[in-house]
Amino acid sequence: MVIAASPVIVALDYAEMAPALELASALDPSACRLKVGKELFTAAGPLLIERLQGLGFEVFLDLKFHDIPNTVAGALRSAAAMGVWMVNVHVSGGRRMLEASVEAFANVATPPMLIGVTVLTSMDAQDFAELAYKGSLGDQVLRLANLAKDCGLQGVVCSAKEATVLRQELGSTFALVTPGIRPAGAKADDQRRILTPAEAMEAGASYLVVGRPITRAADPAAALEAINSSL
């Protein structure tokens, strides 16, 4: 596999394997990494991961595990056996689940990067208020990010709009993976808390998850190049 020089992670938000592989074949593995989420992985399974790795890509397996500690640990060991580059869990699963997640990689020679999901970037303040959490959405993100770091995770998924505060609080080496990235002029789609790629990097993001602005572009490789150039 090629180690990408870019912070861009392209989200393969497809329902089946064929278009995902077609898109991947049009991109350069030195210019991005690829993210496989629930819909695509449920349809295509580990074979897709193997095919993407065969094209040279590092893969972020975005399944957001959230279950009892033993179940999550077993799922993470299976992910590590596939050789994925990054995998994630929901921080709201709690300390015991997070510590079991870290321990799952204790005997793995080259473990994936393990990150935690704080608050989904599709949520806004009104959505958050309906869940009756205490404090603000930003408070919850910071609380969960601190818990993730304390339990030994290597980073979190967060909105780029929260990256500045998290970077200040959690230090320079803690990874901040930011969905909701939209180039200037692009549609927000179902994301709410969004920034441009350059704004997100300036705010302290480590990795930028970009989907439809690349995958639905007339020329995906050119769209990716434009984003990388903007950085």
| Domain region containing 101 | 8-230
Which residues have CB under 8 Å from 108's CB, separation 6+? 77, 80
pTM value is 0.92
Q: What is the pLDDT of residues 22-52, one digit of tens each?
A: 999 999 999 999 999 999 999 999 999 999 9
Q: What percent of the chain has pLDDT over 90?
A: 77
Catalytic annotation, pick one of 64, 134, 149, 161: 64
Q: What is the pLDDT of residues 82-132, one digit of tens each?
A: 999 999 999 999 999 999 999 999 999 999 999 999 988 777 778 878 887
Reply yes or no on whether 64 is catalytic.
Answer: yes
pLDDT of residue 187: 56
35 is in an annotated binding site: yes
90 is in an annotated binding site: no
Has residue 3 been placed in a domain? no
Has residue 1 been placed in a domain? no
127 is in an annotated binding site: no
Is the predicted pLDDT of residue 136 greater than 90, yes or no? Answer: no
Is the predicted pLDDT of residue 192 greater than 60, yes or no? Answer: no
Q: Beta partners for 89?
A: 65, 116
Taking residues 8-22, what's their average pLDDT? 97
Total of domains in the chain: 1
Is the predicted pLDDT of residue 79 greater than 60, yes or no? Answer: yes
Average pLDDT, the chain: 92
161 is in an annotated binding site: no
- For residue 154, give the CATH number of its domain: 3.20.20.70
Has residue 111 been placed in a domain? yes
Has residue 211 been placed in a domain? yes
Has residue 2 been placed in a domain? no
Is the predicted pLDDT of residue 193 greater than 80, yes or no? Answer: no
